[in-house]
């Protein structure tokens, strides 16, 4: 009887836990492909992210999320957000590698999240 009560208590604790906090979905319809294809726009966002230029409202919101997304390999991202981030990061890596290196150095100066974030970028979930 005692073990049944303990089991019920454990189940209650698991089901009452709040779900992991998720990122704001306000920009889930952001056109990441357009950003990736427009070098001038990509440079502008890159400058925003590395503190070398002004930010649009979207850029400012993304900039706030970047450190946590990098450290957690986007664990709080929705599937749509993961797709958008992969598109934008790959565009930086391919078209503006110096900006990407500056951003990576800024947000992960010791490279401790590089391997896990690279795995996230290569995943297809």
DSSP string, 43-94: HHHHHHHTTSS---HHHHHHHHHHHHHHHHTTTT--HHHHHHHHHHHHHHHH
What is the pLDDT, as a whole number, of residue 20?
52
| Segments forming the whole domain that contains residue 86 | 22-122
Residue of 78, 70, 67 lying closest to 23 (CA atoms): 78
Residue 16, in any domain of the structure: no
Q: Which residue has the higher pLDDT, 8 or 94?
A: 94
For the chain, the domain total comes to 1
Above 50 in pLDDT, residue 123? Answer: yes
Encode pLDDT of 13-54 as tens digits: 333 334 458 888 888 888 999 999 999 999 999 999 999 999
Residue 3, in any domain of the structure: no
Residue 8, in any domain of the structure: no
Encode pLDDT of 63-85 as tens digits: 999 999 999 999 999 999 999 99
Q: For residue 2, what pLDDT band results from cuts at 50, 70 and 90?
A: very low
Residue of 73, 31, 83, 78 lying closest to 56 (CA atoms): 31
What is the pLDDT, as a whole number, of residue 28?
87
What is the pLDDT, as a whole number, of residue 4?
40
Q: Find out whether 77 and 23 touch, Cβ atoms under 8 Å.
A: yes
Distance CA 4, CA 7 (A): 5
pTM, two decimals, is 0.79
Residue of 108, 48, 41, 102 lying closest to 73 (CA atoms): 108
What is the pLDDT, as a whole number, of residue 10?
35
Distance CA 66, CA 61 (A): 9
Residue 36, in any domain of the structure: yes
What is the pLDDT, as a whole number, of residue 26?
86
């Amino acid at each position: 009887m005692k073990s049944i009560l303990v089991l019920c208590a454990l189940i209650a604790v698991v089901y009452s836990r709040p779900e992991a906090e998720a990122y704001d979905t306000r920009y889930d319809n952001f056109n990441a492909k357009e950003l990736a294809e427009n070098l001038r726009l990509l440079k502008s966002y890159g400058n925003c992210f590395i503190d070398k230029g002004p930010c649009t409202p979207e850029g400012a919101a993304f900039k706030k999320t970047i450190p946590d997304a990098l450290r957690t390999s986007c664990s709080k991202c929705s599937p749509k957000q993961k797709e958008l981030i992969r598109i934008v990061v790959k565009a930086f890596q391919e078209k503006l590698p110096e900006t990407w290196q500056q951003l990576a150095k800024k947000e992960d100066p010791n490279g401790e999240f590089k391997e896990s974030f690279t795995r996230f970028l290569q995943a297809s979930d």
